[in-house]
Amino acid sequence: MTESDPTSATTADTFDVNGRRVVVTGGTAGIGLAAAAHLVRCGARVVICGRRDEGEAIAEGIGAAFVAMDVADDSSVERAFAIVSERFDALDALILNAGIDEYHGEIDSLDLQLFERVIDVNTMGVVRTLSHGIGLVRDHGSVIVTSSPAGSVAAPGMAAYAASKAALDHLVRVWALELGPRQVRVNAVLPGIVESEMGSESAPDLELIRRMTATGVFRKASEMAPVFHFLVSDASAPLTGSLVGCHDGIPLGYSHEVMDHLGADLADAGGDG
Provide the residue count of the chain: 273
Do 147 and 106 form a contact (C-beta atoms < 8 A)?
no
Q: Is 254 a catalytic residue?
A: no
Q: Any bridge partners for residue 46, and if so which?
A: 22
Do 174 and 183 form a contact (C-beta atoms < 8 A)?
no
Do 52 and 30 form a contact (C-beta atoms < 8 A)?
no
Start-to-end C-alpha separation, the chain:
73
Catalytic residue among 66, 115, 161, 228: 161
Q: 122, 125, 97, 105: which is closest to 36 by C-alpha?
A: 97
The amino acid sitting at 213 is T
| Active-site annotation, residues | 161
